[in-house]
Amino acid sequence: MAKNGLKPEIRFAGFTEDWEQRKLGGVTDRVQGNDGRMGLPTLTISAANGWLDQKDRFYDNIAGNEQKNYTLLKKGQLSYNHGNSKLAKYGVIFELQNYDEALVPRVYHSFKAKENVAPSFIEYLFATKRPDKELGKLISSGARMDGLLNISFDDFMSIEIPVPTIKEQIKISSFFRNLDNLITLHQRKYDKLIDFKKAMLEKMFPKDGADVPEIRFAGFAGAWERRKLDEQVLFYSGLTYSPSDVVEGHGTLVLRSSNVHGGEIVNADNVYVSSKAVNSDNVQVGDIVVVVRNGSKSLIGKHAQIKETMNNTVIGAFMTGIRYKQADFINALLSTPQFYSEIKKNLGATINQITTGTFREMQFHFPNTVEQKYIGDFFRHLDHLITLHQQELEKLKNIKKSLLGKMFV
């Protein structure tokens, strides 16, 4: 049934007709059962990544005896994973794109689009989260023990969705599919750079039991010397403050673990204190701030380098600051397997922390300062390249999010 004024904010040229409200069951048909072929790919849906082979996601096929009850899904057909997750409170829908046929869990609500309905349009419509309001009304109780929401297939088919002409559906779907392909391309480049950095950190620093790295810049030879960190770098402590010292939105910024993400300093859950409470060093460009105490063991050793002047900024008591002439080298060293091995070996038995004394006593191999500079420069440039790709990826994701909100009703 048409509803006056049902039009998106942004529209491709040439389309002017109102969209129509249609029941999902009126534009799709159910898909269920299989033909007994158990050798087909066995897939699962990830809210973040869409269709994944169970062997890739879980390192094995987890279907077990239940596989005989899986649904045979064909290319262009869709499934609704009505599982609750942080990314998708009311579940997600994905069209099968990269497989001709596959077996998918029977608990998914699987269906196919009728004539004059583009399956990709349905996928992207649900990606807008607009149908979530109706889905929320269908939930009779919370998530089941298996994490699935109590939404039956028939109830799911009863929700209404806005549908334009098939030509406009295809135009919108193609646009977002191309945008997704571009995002995937940048994601792969980013992932490759992350993997490359990990490999080079392993090869450009001596492994345990060795005193030279596997890969080295031309012109450098001879063994690296094993030294205590305290002999090379300057350590400084963080600020201890009380709740009464905290002020709103002004004063001195106290960097904490929440401000360290992906090797960068970020604005997240910022805490400011009165300047009268500050009795520790202001951070300087090049300093490396390291998380040395945290409720989460996995965050110990997380670090970031100060890359620009930050006036009125200190580190908190659960952080340690490191200052060194070849700061880029130290920043890379603190990302190596050797450093995290030292952390694991020296973590407190009852409290997740590395004491300043223990940190100072850690020993690593150091080359001469010239080679340190070469290595530091290499990883600084690599980090910059990774950051650029990450920023481009985030920009594309934000563009998609914005357009999803404006190109659907």
Containing structural domain, residue 387: 169-221+367-409
Same domain, 252 and 378: no
User: From CA 263, how far away is CA 160, in angstroms rounded?
Assistant: 45
**What is the mean predicted confidence (pLDDT) over 62-71?**
89
Is 12 within the bounds of a domain? no
Same domain, 91 and 61: yes
Same domain, 316 and 357: yes
Is 313 within the bounds of a domain? yes
1 falls in which pLDDT band (50, 70, 90)? very low
pLDDT digits (tens, 9 = 90+) for 112-123: 999 999 999 999
Is 2 within the bounds of a domain? no
**What is the mean predicted confidence (pLDDT) over 29-43?**
95
149 falls in which pLDDT band (50, 70, 90)? confident
DSSP per-residue string spanning 49-98: TEEEEHHHHHSS---GGGGGG-EEEETT-EEEE-B--SS-TT-EEEE--S
57 falls in which pLDDT band (50, 70, 90)? confident
Same domain, 105 and 187: no
Give the CATH number, domain containing residue 406: 1.10.287.1120
pLDDT over 50 at 145, yes or no: no
Strands 50-53 and 43-46: antiparallel
Q: pLDDT above 70 covers what percent of the chain?
A: 97
Beta strands, E only, 224-274: 225-228, 234-237, 246-247, 252-255, 260-261, 264-265, 271-273
Give the CATH number, domain containing residue 235: 3.90.220.20
Higher pLDDT, 298 or 93: 93
Is 349 within the bounds of a domain? yes
Is 293 within the bounds of a domain? yes
Residue type, 218: A
pLDDT at residue number 196: 98
Same domain, 181 and 210: yes
Tokens 């063994």 locate to: 223
User: From CA 9, how far away is CA 409, in angstroms rounded?
Assistant: 8
Is 7 within the bounds of a domain? no
141 falls in which pLDDT band (50, 70, 90)? low
> How many distinct structural domains can be found in the chain?
3
Same domain, 261 and 334: yes
**Counts of helices then strands in the chain (DSSP H, E):** 11, 22
pLDDT at residue number 58: 79
Same domain, 303 and 203: no
Same domain, 274 and 375: no
147 falls in which pLDDT band (50, 70, 90)? low
312: nearest Cα among 289, 278, 341, 345: 278
Same domain, 379 and 349: no
Same domain, 190 and 201: yes
The reported pTM is 0.84
**What is the mean predicted confidence (pLDDT) over 160-166?**
97
**What is the mean predicted confidence (pLDDT) over 352-365?**
93
With contact defined as beta carbons under 8 Å apart, do 328 and 380 qualify? yes
Same domain, 373 and 355: no
Domain-terminating residue out of 164, 182, 207? 164
Same domain, 50 and 149: yes
Is 149 within the bounds of a domain? yes
User: From CA 62, how far away is CA 67, in angstroms rounded?
Assistant: 9
With contact defined as beta carbons under 8 Å apart, do 213 and 204 qualify? yes
* Other residues' Cβ atoms within 10 Å of the Cβ of residue 169: 22
And the tokens for 382? 């690599």
Is 152 within the bounds of a domain? yes
pLDDT digits (tens, 9 = 90+) for 222-265: 999 999 999 999 999 999 999 999 998 789 999 999 999 989 99
